[in-house]
Every structure is written in C-alpha cells, then in structure tokens.
Amino acid sequence: MSGITEATAEPAPQGPNLPNAQEFVNELELIGQQVAFGVATVDQAAEDLQALIERLAVK
C-alpha cells in the first residue's frame, strides 16, 4: 500500500475537533484519484482541496 492508501484505509477518528474528518479523508482520496487518472491537473486538485477545506471549516 502507498502512504495515501494507508492513510485512508482506516476510518478517520471523529471527535469535537474533527467532526468532518471522514468526509475530508473520502474527498481527499477522490481528489488524489482524479489526478492519478488524469481527470484533473495538480493545479485543479489544489483548488479543489482548498475549496474542500473552506467548505468543511464552516460545517
């Protein structure tokens, strides 16, 4: 397994400081797959990641 796969293989812990941790991990994995399969560029993935962080920060 690669590092990113190992990091996303186990469910992320949920708690008061990380209420959306699993959603973040799932979305991050999808962003990584889009780059890996040429669906998105690294620059687009960076924008998607920033948007994800901003979206989850207000949840």
* Strand ranges inside the chain, DSSP E: none
pLDDT at residue 7, rounded to an integer: 52
Domain limits of the chain?
Answer: 18-57
Higher-confidence residue of 50 and 22: namely 50
Residues 14-30 have pLDDT tens digits of: 566 666 788 899 999 99
Q: Residue 44's closest CA among 54, 55, 35, 36?
A: 35
pLDDT range class, residue 42, cuts 50, 70, 90: very high
47-59 per-residue burial string, b: 16 or more CB within 10 A, e: under 16: ebeeebeeeeeee
- Within 8 A by CB and 6+ apart from 23, the residues are 56
